[in-house]
Structure 1
């Protein structure tokens, strides 16, 4: 599937422009960043839930609970990103078709990997998100001069760094 370009102008809420010191063109750029992030976060949530529902093995109970905690954290991020878009005068997309159309993360339809591979796949998604966020942090500061979103993205990056660390810690082989 080819990633389509996001038409941000259709996502700007025309009723009442927020007067928050960010020109519309800059807000459009930030809303594009946040909308793509929303898509990535939603796909990550779905992937984490799929693994939560399908994990098996000797560590089932512990991993089932761990993955639930992970998807609850990602679900909270999804809501925060959507609310940030709205606070900037944007409208949020909200269909699975749109999320898949604009995500930068990879899904694994039809695949039911072992627990270790599930954790590795999630780790890859979190690390990809961290790399994307690092670029977005620079862009919101240097190009769009939106320090509020810059700070917001830094906080999200830190959450993903912690989740990635937890996944890496789970993947360490147990001594026999």
Structure 2
């Protein structure tokens, strides 16, 4: 009877979790699914996903640099920059998701893990400790410059290869977001007196 019950339970769905599972990759990094009906040749999609992954790695690094700056900022502009850095972080999070999904849509494999991003990014790694506000801002602007430079190249290349979707993503979202963030950051590096004008022609005459 026991044998009969055991055999009847064979193949049933169980509520018990099957832990510690491992298997071979279902798709290797650096490849694309060649069966997708996207009307884009495989070499085009290979090139686009490779460049998008570089853009993704740099965008993920910039995203994290914003969060580091948000946590570690100090000084009289703490409140304003604390909020601004977090706002820019949220906007970069959205770009990361959009770029990664574009890579997957093209049949590629997007970077995902921090270690892989660190090996790939072109952005200089900051120290673990806190830095002055001008240095934080300069690091962020340097990172933006790398992304903007590569975005322009990628957008132009996508047009030549007929990948209108990638061009639209890079121009409409990545490029415009980064340009706007550069504007907000760079204005904080203008040397401007806060409470006293420095123009000698506006000084009041000394009393006799």
TM-score, scaled to structure 1: 0.88
Give the match for residue 188 of structure 2: 170
1:88 matched to 2:109: no
Residue 80 of structure 1, CA deviation? 0.6
2:152–2:175 contact (8 Å) kept in structure 1 = yes
2:63–2:93 contact (8 Å) kept in structure 1 = yes
**Where in structure 2 are the equivalents of 1:6-25 lying within 5 Å?**
10-14=29-33, 17-25=35-43
1:152 matched to 2:152: no
**Where in structure 2 are the equivalents of 1:70-149 lying within 5 Å?**
70-142=88-160, 144-149=161-166
Give the match for residue 53 of structure 2: 35
Q: Secondary structure at the match of 1:10?
A: coil
Give the match for residue 8 of structure 2: none
Q: Which has the higher contact order (CA 8 A, sep 6+)?
A: 1
Gaps of 5+ in 2: 1-26, 197-208
> Quick one: distance in 2 between partners of 1:35 and 1:73?
18
Which one has a larger percent helix, Structure 1 or Structure 2? Answer: 1
**Where in structure 2 are the equivalents of 1:56-75 lying within 5 Å?**
56-75=74-93
1:49 matched to 2:67: yes
1:141–1:147 contact (8 Å) kept in structure 2 = yes
Give the count of matched residue pairs. Answer: 167
Residue 12 of structure 1, CA deviation? 3.2
Gaps of 5+ in 1: 1-7
1:9–1:28 contact (8 Å) kept in structure 2 = no
Q: Secondary structure at the match of 2:38?
A: coil
Residue 145 of structure 1, CA deviation? 2.1
Residue 9 of structure 1, CA deviation? 6.5
2:32–2:42 contact (8 Å) kept in structure 1 = no
TM-score, scaled to structure 2: 0.75
